[in-house]
Structures are given as structure tokens and as C-alpha cells.
Structure 1
Amino acid sequence: MEDREPTVRSRELGEGLRRAMECGGFHASGVARELGWSPSRVSRILSGKRGGSSHDVAAFIAICGVRGDERERLMALSLDHGPGWHVHHNPALPRRVRTLANHERHANGIECFSGGVVPELLQTRHYAAAVLEANPNVPKWDIAERVGVVQARQRHFEGEDAPGSVFYLHEFVLHTPVGGAALMSEQLHSLLRRSVRPTVSVRVVPRTAGAHAGMTGAFSLVNVRDFKRIVFVDGETVSHFIESPAEVGAYRAVLRELGRVALDEVRSRELIAKLATKLYGVLDTLPR
């Protein structure tokens, strides 16, 4: 089987096999020896450059002792390595979060647009919990874990060596009182603190812009090291990982247009600060 350009699904399969290998106490050389493969063959499957057949994957995970739901997930991934991936959710923590977080960890840049809520990578703990609590499809017992996952994803974008990130959000987001005045004050002041970091750009699309390119919905464009750009679009029951160059190009065009109509970073901070005081006016009264 010839090498090919990795896809989101082949990379997800490779990451799953790598976790299985590590949990089974193996190194790549040990798996190669057990299966009678060359070390390079194992390396290419783990990197997503070579698609493993269902027979190969079944043999790999059998050696590593993978069973149950994870075995079914990896076997399903082995059946189709084509570009693009539509991930259906289940009531528990959606597996799309693991896939998205993995690509974010390998990202050297990300651009996001959100017109309804603060982007997850900028949400405070209280704001994230309030958004999840408002969703009838999120089990109450699962909220704390989901908030923890959001905060873990955020840590990759902190520090001097963090990848560059650009966030476009509509002014409507700042006016929506998620969780009350104290919570929103905390969230807007957090936006202000994050926006002055050298690797972070926060830009507001003002209400006066009227109709704009992002009206079709929120999305994230992730530049992945040693891979390619992908677009992530989240939905209530299914999420989409888009990697076709033509489709990714369409989202890049939306981002260019948003960059044209959005306030610059300084004016965005001024608006956020003004609304934090005018609309909410309370800070640091939430429990820690």
C-alpha cells in the first residue's frame, strides 16, 4: 500500500493506535516485531501516511489488547480514510472533541469566527458551564468534564511559544447576558486580558456592519504542522472536519471578508471595555 497525504480520519486512526500501543506497554519496534512488519510500516500507519486495512488494524489492536467501544471505533476508522469527516455525537462527551483537540495540539495557527457565543478557546470556566447548562442535549453530570476539556484545550494556546490565534466574534456575543451580569463582567474582562497577549488577536464584528460573511455560522480554521489546513464546523448532532482545498478556500474567503469589516484590535478592546462597564459593571464577585 502506497503512502498518501494524511487525512483527518487516517490521523485519528493513527493517534488511536498510538494510544493503544502505549496502553498495551508496547513501543513501535515491539509491535513491528510481533506483527512481522517493518518499523517504517508501523511509523507510517501511526502518522496517517499509510492507511491500515481492517485486517492490519484488527491485528494491531489485538496485540495491544483493545476491546469494547474503542475497538469498534478504530475498526470503523479503518474502513474509510477519505478526506472530510462527519462525526456524529452521542450523549456523553463527543468524540469530535478528542479529534479537534489533537489537531489543535499540532497547530501552528488557528482562526475562528463565532456569532452566538464567545469562542470556546476564550471562554472562562463559568461562562463555558453556563453555555452547556442551557443546552438540553448535554447531560448535567457531564458538564464539569466538558468544561475541563475546554480549559485543557486553552492551555495549548497560552504562553510565549503558543501558536498564533485570531478570533472574530460578533458584537451580539458581547450583549448576550449568559449567566448574568457578574459572569459576563468576568468573561469580558478575561477577553481584554487575553487580547493583549502577543499571540492572540480578538476582533469584533460591529452591529453596524449589517449583513456580513460569517452569517452562515461559526467555524474554526486550523493550520496543522506537517499536515494541511482543516476547517471544523460544530453542530448539535454532528460535527464536520473539512479538508478539501476548495472547501477550505471558501472559509478562508469568509475570514478575509470578516477581517475587512471587523474592528481592529485596539478598537475591539475599547468596545469590549465599554460594554463590560456599561452593560455589566460588576467584576470578580463569582466563586472561585
Structure 2
Amino acid sequence: MTTQTSARRRELGDELRRARERSGLTAAQLADQLGWQPSKLSRVERGLNRCTEVEAAMLLGYLRAEPDEVRRILALCDDEERGSWLQAFGNRLPDQLRTLILSESTACAIASVELNRIPGLLQTECYTRAMLCEAGLVPSAGVEPRVEARQARQALLHRSNPPNFVFYIHEQALGLQIGGPAVMHEQMLYLVFAASQPGCVIRIIPTAAGAHAALDGPFRLMSFAEHHPVVYLETQNRSLVLEKPLDIASYKLVLAKLADQALSATESRSMLVDYASRYDVMEAAASDDSGDQVAEEQLQRH
């Protein structure tokens, strides 16, 4: 049974719970101080009850929260019915957004569509690093924190009860060489390994398919056991969470069309193996060329 609650309200509840746990107070102790029924605090922390800005400020006051934390959490109180929520990254990394992490960690199923790159949850460390460095949009000092944050998110795939994943990846992401043949060879092998794991399906949208249902761009649709689904979109500086039934229906239609247009899981795995072989040959050729160049330089020195 689904409940009428928004992603924003669930994030507010999660932040309030985390603040309470950091303070060392139990839920019963805090509810007593606030004069609330324990059930009310429980529903607020689970995002099932609306929490006004006044209530949240009073709660955070009892917890002696720091001013910066208070401002950040109170900003989540501007709650509306399920709709859309535009959120700026600010000084946070996209992979560290509580909205994304909370949604992914509580989802029972995640469908992801990527067109020009390997999905973040499936990227190898070397691929992520090379992508950030070669794109040139991240200062050198900011590369490693982003690599670490993306790797940390991938723990989701290896927990005891991960969501069911379906990754739609366009073939152009496989052919876009990032970091050189060695990096791409490792990335392709990792995709082959991931595709063999239970609950993880990778389907390739072949270039030969031409126009396809996801031409408008990448997205993630996350489904939950107790809440309505959400669609998560990401731009250069902001994320957008969509929850209106009409929006969800339109993205579900995209996924249904892609299910017809993409290669099967078995065909996709074969394509990944083929790309891994190609990059392996390219890597070996590059290594031979490098060895010949070194030998030639040594001869010239003698």
C-alpha cells in the first residue's frame, strides 16, 4: 500500500531523525520534551506527517542543532503536495545529495537511462576519474572527492538486499573512449560482471536502432514498496525530482518503449563482451607501440 508523501517530506523526516540520533536522545525522550505523542514523532521522522517550520525549529532547538544545520533542515519544510522539486547542488557534490542517496537506498526498483556515459552506479574508479579530468569542468582538487563519493554510492549494489536494477545504456556510451583503451577495457569487463549479478539487468540501446524513446535525455525512475515512484533528473548545477502521476506515466511510457527497442539482456551481454575484446586488442596494440617507441629511443641514445 502506497502512502501520500513526498520525497521532500521524507528527506526532512530523515534529517530530523539523524539530528536526533546525533544528539543522543531517544525518540521517546524527545517526544516527551516536545509534548508530542511518540507516534507523531515517529510519523514525522518517516516522512508520513507534515512538519511545519515552527515544529521543526522547536524540535531542532531541543536537539541543540548547529545554526547551519538548522537553516539547511528548515529549508526542507516548504512542503507541498507531490509535484516537482528543483534542488541546487550548492557546495555539495551531486553524488552526496541526501535526496538521491535516500531515494536510492529505500527504493525497491531502479530503472536508469544513460545515453553518453556509463551510469554512475556502474562506473569503475578509473573511468570516473578519467571522465572528470577529460571533461575539464571540475578543478583538479575536486576530482578525487567526486570519485570517492561515486564509489561510495555503489555500495548500494553490493548490500544484502539491493533494489532490482534495469540499466538502459546507449551503445554510443560504449564507443565513447574515455581514459584510453585500458580504462575502457576494464569498464567493459566490469559491466559484463555486473550484468551477471542477480537483480541487475543491463540492456543496450543499439546505434542501429536510430531514433529511440529516450532522445530527450537520461533519467532515473525509482519505485518504492510504500511510496509513490519518483523520477530523478540531473543537470549541471541542479537536480529535479518529479512525482506527479502524469510525469511518472510519461517516463514509464519511455521505459516501455525502450524495452522494445533495446537489445535483450543476453544480446547486450554479448555486445559488452565484444566491446571488451575490441578494447583489449587496442590496449595491446598501444602497449606494443609504446614498447617499440621506448626501444627506438634507447637505440638512438646508444
Match of 1:23 in 2: 22
Question: Residue deviations 1:4-25, cap 9 Å, x none?
Answer: 7210110010011011101111
- The 8 Å contact of residues 91 and 138 in structure 1, kept in 2 or not, is answered as no
2:253 is equivalent to residue 253 of structure 1: yes
CA distance in 2 between counterparts of 1:62 and 1:81 reads 24
2:151 is equivalent to residue 151 of structure 1: yes
Displacement of 1:279 in angstroms is 3.8
Displacement of 1:277 in angstroms is 1.6
User: Which stretches in structure 2 are left out of the alignment for 5+ residues?
Assistant: 288-302
CA distance in 1 between counterparts of 2:240 and 2:220 reads 11
Match of 2:55 in 1: 56
Q: 1:50 to 1:135 in 2, by over 3 A?
A: farther
**Residue correspondences, number:** 281
In the TM superposition, what are the counterparts of 1:96-107 in structure 2 within 5 Å?
A: 97-107=97-107
Q: 1:245 to 1:272 in 2, by over 3 A?
A: same
CA distance in 1 between counterparts of 2:139 and 2:51 reads 35
Answer with 1 or 2: which has the greater Rg: 2
Deviates more, 1:190-199 or 1:147-156: 147-156
Match of 1:177 in 2: 177
- The 8 Å contact of residues 233 and 239 in structure 1, kept in 2 or not, is answered as yes
- The 8 Å contact of residues 113 and 219 in structure 2, kept in 1 or not, is answered as yes
Q: 1:160 to 1:22 in 2, by over 3 A?
A: closer
Question: Residue deviations 1:68-116, cap 9 Å, x none?
Answer: 3321111111122432211112244248622111111111111111001
2:15 is equivalent to residue 5 of structure 1: no
C-alpha root-mean-square deviation of aligned residues, in Å?
A: 1.9
Question: Residue deviations 1:144-191, cap 9 Å, x none?
Answer: 232222222222222563221000000000000111111010000000
Displacement of 1:259 in angstroms is 0.8
- The 8 Å contact of residues 114 and 168 in structure 2, kept in 1 or not, is answered as yes
CA distance in 2 between counterparts of 1:95 and 1:114 reads 16
CA distance in 2 between counterparts of 1:85 and 1:209 reads 33
CA distance in 2 between counterparts of 1:95 and 1:36 reads 37
Question: Residue deviations 1:40-67, cap 9 Å, x none?
Answer: 1111111111111111000111111222
Q: 1:241 to 1:193 in 2, by over 3 A?
A: same
In the TM superposition, what are the counterparts of 1:1-288 in structure 2 within 5 Å?
A: 5-83=4-82, 84-94=84-94, 97-158=97-158, 161-281=161-281, 282=283
**Residue 148 of structure 1 aligns to which amino acid in structure 2?**
E
CA distance in 2 between counterparts of 1:115 and 1:218 reads 6
**Residue 265 of structure 2 aligns to which amino acid in structure 1?**
E
Deviates more, 1:93-102 or 1:226-235: 93-102
CA distance in 1 between counterparts of 2:42 and 2:136 reads 43
CA distance in 2 between counterparts of 1:10 and 1:159 reads 26
CA distance in 2 between counterparts of 1:93 and 1:136 reads 16
- The 8 Å contact of residues 111 and 166 in structure 1, kept in 2 or not, is answered as yes
**Residue 25 of structure 2 aligns to which amino acid in structure 1?**
F
Q: 1:75 to 1:98 in 2, by over 3 A?
A: same
CA distance in 1 between counterparts of 2:191 and 2:68 reads 39
User: Which stretches in structure 1 are left out of the alignment for 5+ residues?
Assistant: none
- The 8 Å contact of residues 95 and 153 in structure 2, kept in 1 or not, is answered as no
CA distance in 1 between counterparts of 2:279 and 2:153 reads 29
Displacement of 1:200 in angstroms is 0.8
CA distance in 2 between counterparts of 1:175 and 1:242 reads 31
CA distance in 2 between counterparts of 1:178 and 1:71 reads 41
Question: Residue deviations 1:225-251, cap 9 Å, x none?
Answer: 311211111110111111111101100
CA distance in 1 between counterparts of 2:97 and 2:204 reads 26
TM-score, normalised to structure 1, is 0.92
- The 8 Å contact of residues 110 and 166 in structure 1, kept in 2 or not, is answered as yes
SS in 2 for 1:216: coil
- The 8 Å contact of residues 114 and 170 in structure 1, kept in 2 or not, is answered as yes
- The 8 Å contact of residues 9 and 82 in structure 1, kept in 2 or not, is answered as no
